[in-house]
Structure 1
Amino acid sequence: MKAYSIYISGVGGQGIIKTSVVIGEAAMKTGQVVVMSEIHGMAQRGGGVSTELKIGHAHSSIIADGTADLLLAFEPLEALRALPKISKNTRVVMNTSRILPFNIQGSELPYPPLEDILEEMCSKSQEVKALDAVKVATQAGHILAMNMVMLGAALTVPGFPLDKKTLMESMKANLPERTVPINTRAFEQGFGTFS
């Protein structure tokens, strides 16, 4: 059986690696094999961060171009950078709240309009679920819970290989105890957006 491939992209500080750990540990709790790799880039300076996960038997964690089952894009411009990884069979969950890259700030290069980004994503993938995860996280209690909003939304994707209970157990095991109530609300609100 083919491994389920998840490509997560975003900007440093958005909780991309923590989200990958939560997913990976949840998969291992269900007895599934997991491989993962991460690219930090210039994460500490607001640069791009990505992780690649495969759940199931795989020879490598690297997701070949055009083979991702799911793209979890924490930032719209980073979704565009991840386009080579997706195909018409890929499902996309995308945060619509943007973070201006340092190389665009003060330059004549404009940040592309969100409508153009969404149109491009929809033309390349099977399904795009877009939400303002920053707004949802803020409503749940803290902006830093945005990654758990995205994880909750990812759970609504058909074929996602994990169940809600296992993901929530992994979330609670991998986050500081004092943050669990806010992150749980964020996860539930992300899930509720599309369920």
Structure 2
Amino acid sequence: MTKNILIVGVGGQGTLLTGRIIGNYAMMKGQDVKMSEVHGMAQRGGSVLMQVKYGDKVHSPLVEPGEADIIFAFEKLEALRYIHYLKEDGVIIANTQRIDPMPVVMGMAEYPEDVETQIKSVNDKACLIDALSIAKEIGNVRVVNMIMIGAYAAYVGDTLEEWEHIVEVTVPKHTIQMNKEALKRGYKAYLEK
């Protein structure tokens, strides 16, 4: 069976690295993996979309609307922006962080006040995690993506040890311990929801 994953966020949040880590993990498990990425203006602050598909045999990297098993969002408005990609029984794992898009920053639009309520109304499988607060407790906001990967690991039911190995071979050596801590905290946060 093929898993269709949409990873969305804002430039600079580690969206693409997260896709590569999930793809590497699936390959380690013997799965065929295809990935596709779209950078909104390819700059920090623009919308970023990463599509990851894995299974016995994957023919296309593209996830079509209504096909995503999982939407993995690093910013809550980005989760809402791509929610139409979610399958009826799909899962949303979203960070509660708010990052104002450029039209909001420029005063041309308002950030919706009820984003979290709209996400939760899709189905009872929505999981909202305050990954930014957890990252601040760890001491580095750049580990938000690893916290979210930990939540994904808990969702799929894999052990932390399996994911820690991928972290060890993917991130710079001097950040391994911090990233492992973030992974553990995300795993725990998902299980507590």
For the aligned pair, the TM-score class normalised by the smaller chain equals over 0.9
- Kept in 1, the 8 Å contact 2:154–2:187? The answer is yes
Q: Trace 1:107-186 onto structure 2 (pairs within 5 A).
A: 107-113=107-113, 116-157=114-155, 160=156, 162-186=158-182
Q: CA deviation at 1:194?
A: 2.3
Letter in 1 for 2:147: V
Q: Once superposed, which parts of structure 1, at least 4 consecutive aligned residues long, lie more than 3 Å away?
A: none
Q: Which residue of 1 aligns with 2:28?
A: 29
1:72 corresponding residue in structure 2: 72
C-alpha separation in 2, matches of 1:34 and 1:95: 25
Q: Aligned letter for 1:156?
A: A
Tell me the secondary structure at the aligned position of residue 127 of structure 1: coil
2:86 alignment counterpart = 86
Q: Contact 1:153–1:192 (CA<8 Å) still a contact in 2?
A: yes
Bigger shift: residues 164-173 or 77-86: 164-173
Structure 1 residue 168: deviation in Å? 1.6
Matched, 1:55 2:54: yes
TM-score (structure 2 length as normaliser): 0.93
Give 1:126 shift. 4.4
* Identity across matched positions, percent: 35
Q: Give SS of 1:124's match.
A: coil
Query: What is the aligned length?
Result: 190
Cα distance between partner residues in 2 of 1:104 and 1:194: 30
Contact 2:68 2:87 in 1 (8 A): yes
CA shift for structure 1 position 176: 0.4
Q: Which has the higher contact order (CA 8 A, sep 6+)?
A: 1
Q: Aligned AA for 1:121?
A: I
Q: Tell me how far apart the structure 1 counterparts of residues 124 and 86 of structure 2 sit (CA, whole Å).
A: 9
Aligned to 1:38: 37
Q: Deviations over 1:71-112 (max 9, x none)?
A: 101001111111111132110110001111122113142111
Identify the residue that residue 17 of structure 2 maps to in structure 1. Answer: 18
1:167-195 CA distances to partner (integer Å, 9 max, x unpaired)?
22111111001011111111101111122
Q: Deviations over 1:39-59 (max 9, x none)?
A: 112241411001001111221
Task: Give RMSD over aligned pairs.
Answer: 1.5
Other structure's SS at 1:121 match = helix
With over 3 angstroms needed to count, the CA separation of the structure-2 counterparts of 1:165 and 1:95, relative to structure 1, is: same
Q: Contact (CA 8 Å) 1:89, 1:125: kept in 2 or not?
A: yes
Which stretches in structure 1 are left out of the alignment for 5+ residues? none
Kept after mapping to 2: 8 A contact 1:140/1:189: no
Amino acid at match of 1:3: T
Question: In the aligned structure 1, how far is the partner of 2:44 from the partner of 2:148?
Answer: 22
Q: Report the CA distance between 1:163 and its aligned residue.
A: 4.3
